[in-house]
Every structure is written in structure tokens, then in C-alpha cells.
Amino acid sequence: MSLKRQIAHNTTIQIVGKVISTFLGLIAVALMTRHLGAEKFGWYVTATSYLQFIGILIDFGFTVTISNMLAEPEFDKTKLLNTTFTWRFFSALLFYLIAPLVILFFPYGREIKIGVAILSLSFFCTALNQVFIGYYRTKLQLFVVSISEIVGRIILVIGIWLLVNQQQGFLPITMIVTIASFATTIYLWWPLRAIRFNFDKTISRALFIKIWPTALAVIFNTLYLQADRVILPLYRSQSEVGLYGAAYRVLDIVTQLEAIVMGILMPLITYAWSMKLVDEFKKRYQLGFDLLALLLFPMIVGIFVLAEPIMRFIAGPAFGGAGIMLKYLSLSIFGTCFGMIFGHVILAINKQRQALYVYVSDALLSLIGYFIFIPKYGWLGAVAVTIFSELYAGFWLTVLCIHYSKIVPKLITVLKITIASMLMGMLVQYLQPLALIPSILLGLITYTSLALGLKIVRKDTLREILNLSHIAEDVKV
């Protein structure tokens, strides 16, 4: 099986799984927004944003670091998995026991604080999943990850639907969210049930040496990625927070897609660099760059053009006001695209320390910006600073990556993708007002035709990607 096919197969598995789980997730959000309304959905956004902030803050880069270390031949894989799981379990347990206590000092309502206590278990499960996903990524057993997420989403949708029919409120919904997360973790954990607590000193030392620059980067990364959703509720109404949070739910779908692609490519890029396979490193580096652009650029344009009908379709008429928020937030994806690919490559070539100043400076500038502009301009100030912070990080990570790898990615494919995306966007915009689904289908057909016409994707490559008859073969990394 060729490298393209290997990557395409595993990408296809996760993309198909992600499409299904995202569809189920959107149903869950649609049920919640329509049932709770903007204000009470704002409660949910406030509670989950606070815990997401804690979660990313204590992420420490576990998923990418574990994938990276498992791709290297230095340590016994079982001992490595057990040791990383042990550190993840106890560090997450500590922080998620403290999180419900810290929230008591925030000027949030009683229901939000109780919701945080309930949802803490959900985010604790998510933290454990980082270790399991890192393992399954390296083994390229991504069907396990996809199925686990789908199982959790099915439980979530059914649970919320039952609660909506029974006219239950905010707190019972947080309980269903937690139950769904717990089910996902059990599904991931069960095939690895032999996993046990173990503190291997040698592996722990190597883990901390490798992870601390990433951990610091993630901590500062959190400050500019999540701080807006924690700061906004301090100055604005829960209704505005609900609209802003609903727009971000759509944006998170794009971010997840970025993470999927780079999660698949990360072990391959790391292995090529560690084995000094320069040509292979260049190919995988370029593949990641082109693939993210191929997927994300048309999505950015499509979201920008169709933001308001997207929000009305997903969250209901009451959330139409979130369309303008989503429209401007979509511009930040350009920055996250470059930040995602070049940030992962920097990790693969072990230049995390050199990238720290980017995250530190971005976090400081963004925090200052949030506290200046959110009190004065509300969501608009939050969006403006978000766009700045993503573009700032993306630009400087690109510069650093090129400097240390000595490889400049070729831009001809990205230029063609940009042209195809803009032409698609202009056509869809010209035909408005048009129903959302026909608009999306028209955009998809137009972009695919342009991609083939401009030879962004060749027909023979498409045939190879679509021919998945030999899907059982593993990638040797």
C-alpha cells in the first residue's frame, strides 16, 4: 500500500467517523439550543468553556507527545503506554477535583457552578482519552476512535431527546453529556484493559524532558484560544454568550478536522525526521500542508458566505444573530491552518523550546486585547482579538518551521486551491438567497470540478484514494 493510500485510508476512516459524529453532535446542539434558548444555552457555553479552558491548560500536549514517542523505537510500547496513562490519570484527577471549587469564586449563577461540578467528570474522561487516542493513532487503528465517538454521540442525542420531551432543564442535560463522555472512554479503554498504573522512572524522565516545552506552549496557547469564552461572560449577558458559543461550535468542527489530519501525519513526519529520511520528510511535510489547505480553504469561504443560514439551520431562528459572529470568526481559520501544520512539524523536529516565545507573546498580547476590547465591544472585540491571535501564531510558527527545517513548502498547489475556493464562493454568493443545502451542494460540485480542472487533485489519485480494497495493511512507522 502506497503512502498516499495509507494516509488516505486512515484519513477516510476518521473523516467518515467524524462526519457521522459531527452530524450527531449538531443534532444534539440543535436540540439544546432550541430547548434551552440563548440564555440557558449561554449557561452551558459558560460551564463548558471554563472546563475546556482547564482541559487545554492541563493538556500538556499529551496526545501529540504520546503519538510522537510511540513512533520512536526507543522505549517498550507497553511500559510507555502505562506510564503516560498513569501521569495523565492523576494529573487530570487533581485538576478536575479543584475546578468545581475554583468556579465558586467566579460571579456566575448557581446553575452554572453546579453544571461545572457535573461536567468535570466528562472532561476528566476526555483527558484520559488523549492517551488512548495517541496509542490508536500510532497503530493506525482509527476505527476504534471513530466508533467510540459515535457511540458517545448516539447516547448524547438519545438522552437529550428524551430530556427535551420530558421538559427537563439545564442540569439534567449536563448529566447526559457526562454519561456520553464516560461511555466513549470505556469503549476506548476496554481493548486496552490490561493497561495498569506504572511509574517507570526512565520513561517518566524522557516524557517530561520531551513534554515540558510542549506543555508550556499548550498553556500559553490556551490563553489566546480559550480566554475569550471565559472572559466574555464576565462582561456580557448569557444570551450574548450563548450566541457566541453557538458560533464557536461550528468553528470547532473545522478545528477538529485539522487535528485529525495532523494526528494521522504526525507519526509519519516524526519518523522520517528521526531517521534522517530527508526526501520522505519533505513529501510528508508538503502533503500535510496541501491537504489542510485543500480541505480548509473552501470551508472558510463557504462559512463566510453562508454563515447566517448555517446558524439558523443548526441552532434555530433564535440564533440567527450568531451568523455575523461565525462569519468573522471563520477568518481566524487561516491562522489555525498554518499554526496547525507548522506547529506539529516544529514538535516533530524537536524545536518546541524555540517556539515558546511565539505562544508566550501571543498569549500576553491576546489577554491584554481581550480585557481591553471585550468590556468595550463585547463579542466583536473577542472576535477581532481571536483573528489577530490566530494569524500571529500561524505566521511566526511558519517562519520558525522554515528556519529550522530549511524546507520551504511549495505554494503552487495552495495558490490553485485559493483560486478554486474564491471562485466557488463568488458563485454561491451570486446565487443567494438560495436554500442552505442546495448552496452547499453547488459549492461542493463547483469546488470539486475546479480542483480537477486545475489539477489540484488528479483523477488517478482520486481513484487510488477511493479504492480501499486493501484496507487491512498497516503503515510501518
Could you say which DSSP state residue 141 is in? Answer: -
Q: Is the pLDDT of residue 41 over 50?
A: yes
| Residue whose entry in the numeric block shows the C-alpha cell 450527531 | 24
| Per-residue confidence (pLDDT) for residue 191, from 0 to 100 | 79
Angstrom distance (rounded) from CA 336 to CA 341 = 9
Instruction: Using alpha carbons, list the distances in angstroms from residue 229 to 25, 109, 181.
Output: 20, 16, 22
Among 261-275, 393-407, 430-444, whose mean pLDDT is lowest?
Answer: 261-275
pLDDT tens digits for range 432-451: 888 888 999 998 999 888 88
Q: Is the pLDDT of residue 124 over 50?
A: yes
Give residue 476's pLDDT band: very low, low, confident or very high (50, 70, 90). very low
Among 74-78, 104-108, 131-135, 196-200, whose mean pLDDT is lowest?
Answer: 74-78
Query: Is 451 part of a structural domain of the chain?
Result: no
Query: Is 82 part of a structural domain of the chain?
Result: yes
Angstrom distance (rounded) from CA 365 to CA 59 = 22
Q: Rounded to the nearest 10 degrees, how much is the dihedral formed by the CA atoms of 463, 464, 466, 472? A: 160
Q: Is the pLDDT of residue 472 over 50?
A: no
| Per-residue confidence (pLDDT) for residue 25, from 0 to 100 | 86
The total number of residues written for the chain in this structure: 477
| Residue whose entry in the numeric block shows the C-alpha cell 506504572 | 198
Q: What is the largest CA-CA distance in the chain?
A: 63
Chain mean position to CA 46? 19
Selection from 297, 294, 296, 323 nearest residue 310 by Cα: 323
Contact indicator for 70, 4 with CB cutoff of 8 Å: no
Quote the number of domains for the chain.
1
**Number of CB atoms found within 10 A of residue 455's CB:** 11
The residues near 144 (Cβ < 8 Å, ≥ 6 apart) are: 136, 187, 188, 191
Query: Is 431 part of a structural domain of the chain?
Result: no
State the average pLDDT over residues 48-60. 79
Between the two ends of the chain, the Cα-to-Cα distance in Å is 13
Q: Is the pLDDT of residue 72 over 70?
A: no
Query: Is 78 part of a structural domain of the chain?
Result: yes
Selection from 245, 264, 453, 226 nearest residue 341 by Cα: 264
Q: Is the pLDDT of residue 117 over 60?
A: yes
Angstrom distance (rounded) from CA 151 to CA 154 = 5
Query: Is 365 part of a structural domain of the chain?
Result: yes
| Per-residue confidence (pLDDT) for residue 279, from 0 to 100 | 78
State the average pLDDT over residues 255-271. 71
Query: Is 235 part of a structural domain of the chain?
Result: yes
Give residue 465's pLDDT band: very low, low, confident or very high (50, 70, 90). very low
Q: What is this structure's pTM?
A: 0.75
Whole-number percent of the chain with pLDDT over 70: 84
pLDDT tens digits for range 188-229: 888 776 677 877 777 778 777 777 766 776 677 666 677 888
Give residue 9's pLDDT band: very low, low, confident or very high (50, 70, 90). low
pLDDT tens digits for range 281-334: 777 777 777 888 888 888 889 999 998 898 888 888 888 888 899 999 988 888
| Per-residue confidence (pLDDT) for residue 469, from 0 to 100 | 36
Angle CA 122–128–129, to nearest 5: 90
The residues near 39 (Cβ < 8 Å, ≥ 6 apart) are: 237, 238, 239, 242
Higher-confidence position of 271 and 324: 324
Query: Is 447 part of a structural domain of the chain?
Result: no
DSSP class per residue in 306-364? HHHHHHHHHH-GGGTTHHHHHHHHGGGHHHHHHHHHHHHHHHHTT-HHHHHHHHHHHHH
State the average pLDDT over residues 364-368. 89
pLDDT tens digits for range 238-248: 899 999 988 88
For 454, phi and psi rounded to 5 degrees? -85, 0
Query: Is 421 part of a structural domain of the chain?
Result: no
Domain holding 9, by residue range, is 3-410
The residues near 427 (Cβ < 8 Å, ≥ 6 apart) are: 442, 443, 446
| Per-residue confidence (pLDDT) for residue 477, from 0 to 100 | 34
Residue 457 in grid coordinates: 487533485
State the average pLDDT over residues 31-57. 87
pLDDT tens digits for range 144-193: 888 888 999 999 999 999 999 998 889 999 999 999 999 999 988 887 76
